[in-house]
Amino acid sequence: MFAKARLLAPVLILSFLLTSCQTAQKFVESGDYDSAIEFCVRKLRGKSKKKTEYVRGLEEAFARAQARDLSTINQLVADDRPENWERVNNIHRDMAARQRLVSPLTPLVSKDGYRAKFNFLDVGTLERDSRNKAAEYLYNHAKDLLARAETGDKIAAREAYRQLLDIGRKYYRDYKDTDQLLKTARELGTSYVLFEVKNQSDKVLPRTFFDRVLAIGKSDLDSEWKAYYFNAEPGVQYDYRVVFKVRDVDISPERVHERAYVDEKEIQDGWDYVLDSKGNVMKDTLGNDIKTPRKVHIRAKVLEVFQSKAARLTGFIEVYDAGKNTLLDNRNVATEILFENYASTFTGDKRALSEESKHRIGNTPLPFPRDEDMLVQAADRLKPNLRDELRKSRAIL
């Protein structure tokens, strides 16, 4: 057994080495030079005797990666397109990271005496130059977009905002007047929406109804580029006007229905002893009295009072372009409030009551809700529907 293990060990080691070499070469052959570099660095870092195959593999992958990136940069620069500087800067950063990864291993000499050569470039200077040009491109492009935004193009303002943010995130925290431009882009890119409620039904709605609907929740409607207002404020130029128009209000009469019914069932009520011809209680084989369950039929008369009242409200949401006063979208909304109450009493045997009857026994009639109160409840129930419909509308950019 030990002899087999000694024979197997060299085979496993050789297999591992061949697999490792094949992995590095596979990365190189597929053009994934950075993965090959990372692989070889892991194999070489901290090793006093560095394997030649990894040293050569790192040297080759590094040289190919540098050559590829320099070729790409030269092509991008030759195209003379300002938008290319973002990509050029990304490549410079990748090159700098690659050099930082390899540099600690140099001078790199294998255990067989092979000395690797690495062409390190002054990437720092190159990266600073491309970073400045990338920031300058984004800045100028954002200003062009803001010029379009001044004519009412909100999408251009939002894109300008994102590009100005990119300058701070990627290149320079404080670059020229980007802070002021961000405020301008935010203002020009935001859609200002005025929300109103109008009663077009033939019913008088309580003031509380309007208050509840208008309490729909600014925080629930506002988004990154939408700001809702519920009272017209001086100095605010609104882009959209949303009007919730109450069309129909239907409140049913107060209804009381009485119903009398009988619950009945057969139950066991004690036992009857079995007698013989002489009138004595009969015994079973164990000497126990023989008896049969006594069945009785019981009844309970139930008087049920059912109260009901309903309020139904329908309307629609209209979205207008505030400047042109043109209708952009129309959505129907509706809700219903139901008041129902059961109150029941009974006479007879309580054991005869069904489970449903037991649940209602003892309830008392309740005062009917006022029309005003039901309409306020309808307003509360409408708010989630209004929020959902406004979120779905594509009319508000």
**Which residue bears the tokens 């070729």?**
71
One digit per residue, pLDDT tens: the chain, 397 residues? Answer: 444 444 444 444 344 444 455 677 787 777 788 898 999 999 898 888 889 999 999 999 999 999 999 999 999 999 999 999 999 999 999 999 999 999 999 899 999 999 999 999 999 999 999 999 999 999 999 999 999 999 999 999 999 999 999 999 999 999 999 999 999 999 999 999 999 999 999 888 889 988 888 888 788 888 899 999 988 888 888 999 999 999 999 999 999 998 888 888 887 877 778 887 787 878 888 888 878 888 888 888 988 899 999 999 999 999 999 989 999 999 999 999 999 998 888 888 888 888 888 888 878 888 999 999 999 999 999 888 888 888 888 899 8
**Which residue bears the tokens 């005869």?**
352
Cis upstream peptide for 107 (omega within 30°) = yes
Amino acid 85: pLDDT? 96
DSSP string over 210-243: HHHHHTS-HHHH-BTTEEEESS--TT---SEEEE
Helix axes 84-102, 123-149, angle to 10 degrees: 150
Angle (nearest 5°) at CA 365 between 361 and 369? 140
Structure tokens that stand for 214 in this block:
């208008």
Amino acid 162: pLDDT? 96
Q: Where are the alpha helices (DSSP H) in the chain?
A: 2-29, 33-44, 52-79, 84-102, 123-149, 154-166, 178-189, 207-214, 218-221, 355-360, 371-392
Query: How far, rounded to the nearest angstrom, does the alpha carbon of residue 293 sit from its chain's CA centroid?
Result: 64
**Cα gap 249→334, rounded to integer Å:** 10
Amino acid 8: pLDDT? 45
Looking at residue 114, what DSSP letter applies? -
Contacts of 147 (CB under 8 A, 6+ apart): none
Dihedral sign, Cα of residue 28, residue 34, residue 39, residue 43: positive
Looking at residue 166, what DSSP letter applies? H
Beta carbons of 123 and 92 less than 8 angstroms apart:
yes
Beta carbons of 160 and 181 less than 8 angstroms apart:
yes
**Which residue bears the tokens 């405020």?**
183
Query: How far, rounded to the nearest angstrom, does the alpha carbon of residue 308 sit from its chain's CA centroid?
Result: 40
Residue type, 213: V
Residue 348 pairs in a beta bridge with: 300
**Cα gap 279→290, rounded to integer Å:** 13
Structure tokens that stand for 132 in this block:
């400045």
Residue type, 394: R
Amino acid 22: pLDDT? 61
Amino acid 21: pLDDT? 53
Beta carbons of 386 and 219 less than 8 angstroms apart:
no
**Cα gap 77→58, rounded to integer Å:** 28
Beta carbons of 71 and 91 less than 8 angstroms apart:
no
Contacts of 244 (CB under 8 A, 6+ apart): 195, 196, 197, 198, 213, 315, 316, 317, 333, 386
Residue type, 187: E
Long-range contact pairs involving 331-337 (C-beta distance under 8 Å, separation at least 24) = 331/389, 331/392, 331/393, 333/244, 333/382, 333/385, 333/386, 333/389, 334/385, 335/378, 335/381, 335/382, 335/385, 336/310, 336/311, 336/312, 336/378, 337/310, 337/311, 337/312, 337/374, 337/377, 337/378, 337/381
